[in-house]
Structures are given as C-alpha cells and as structure tokens.
Amino acid sequence: MYRSRLLLGIAAVFAGITVSLSILGFVYNLFLLVFAVPFALTTAILWYHATGRLAKRVRERELWEEQRHGFGPDPRAAGSRARERARQQARGPGGPGPGNARDRARQRAGRRAPVGEPSGPSVPEAYRILDLDPGADDETIREAYREKVKRVHPDSTDGSEEAFKRVSKAYERLNDDH
C-alpha cells in the first residue's frame, strides 16, 4: 500500500491523538502519557507502512536472507546445484528447459538483472506484453493496459491469473520507467 492516503490519514489522526494526550499529560496529569505511548507507536507503524518504507525494508531483508548463507558453501544447496548441473549437461547446450530460456532472455536483454532490481519483465518485454510500440506515451500505455486487463482478467471467460499478473507487472514496469 505505497502512498496510501487512507493509511496516511489514519496515521495523522493517531498523531493528533498522541499530541493531544501528551499536552494534556504535561498540563494536567503525567499518567496520561502512558496512554500517549501506544498511540505514538501506532502512528509510527502506520506512517512507516503508508510511505512504503516497510515494504522496502521487507524486500531488502528477503534479499539479504537469500544472499546470506553463512561462511562457506551451503551444504543443503550443494546437492541441488549438482543435480541442476547434471540436468543441463543432459540437455546439452541450447536445449529446452527453464534454465536455458532464462539465459536466452537475459542475453536478449543484454544484461543480467542486478540483485536489488524488481522482478518482472524488462521495458522492451513490457511493451511487447501490452502490444505497444516502444516510446508510447502515458495515455496510450494506460489505455492498452485497461484493454488487455479486460481480456485476461481471471473473472473473464478467457482470462487467467498468470496472464493478469504478467500484464499488471508490465504496466507497473512501464509506469516506473516513465
């Protein structure tokens, strides 16, 4: 819920209650400060979530956990790496399989995705998914997205959840790019 107006509004209300209780606590009775603390914590958490910092922190933490395997190789991963190498050797160079398709996609894009980069289609793939020419303006992108979403929505007869997610990620990528 990045930049959610509702959450920011609720956080503002809780901040107002916190300030009011704090002022009343200092003026009338210090015991009211005990009630101000939970409101202050709630305000901080809501603001942290509404501004997107919580989601960013969670993503960074997940990436850090994926990269951190302690010192030396992960003994649990050694067997899976060996099996994957054996599968690739059995397929031969350029054979079918998910690993090779991913490698070809990276080669078409001309680069490997950095660790912190969001997952999803590249910009050229996003244009291709939305059936657009590269360099289309924001209004054209929005219209193409709306038309495509109507066709692939899971509630429609020909739609699927996977296609809907793919179109949504493509639209998000193009919005982030513009």
Q: Buried b / exposed e across 10-34, counting CB within 10 Å, b at 16+?
A: bbeebbebbeebbeebeeeeeebee
Confidence at residue 77, expressed as pLDDT on a 0 to 100 scale: 53
DSSP letters along 137-159, please? -HHHHHHHHHHHHHHH-TTSSS-
Residue 101 has pLDDT above 60, yes or no: no
Whether residue 21 contacts residue 32, with contact meaning beta carbons closer than 8 Å, is answered with: yes
Give residue-wise pLDDT tens across range 28-41: 988 888 989 999 99
Across 74-101, average pLDDT:
57
Residue 163 predicted with pLDDT over 90: no
The 10 Å Cβ neighbour count of residue 122 is 19
Q: CATH topology for 117-177?
A: Helix Hairpins (1.10.287)
How much is the pLDDT for 105? Answer: 52
> What confidence score (pLDDT) does residue 93 get?
55
Give the orientation angle of helix 32-50 with respect to helix 53-67, to 10 degrees.
70
**Higher pLDDT among residues 99 and 65, named by residue:** 65
State the pLDDT at residue 63.
Answer: 74
Q: Pick 137 or 87 by higher pLDDT.
A: 137
Is pLDDT above 90 for 13? yes
**pLDDT at residue 115, rounded to an integer:** 53
pLDDT score, position 151: 87
* Confidence band for 79, pLDDT divided at 50, 70 and 90: low
Residue 3 has pLDDT above 90, yes or no: no
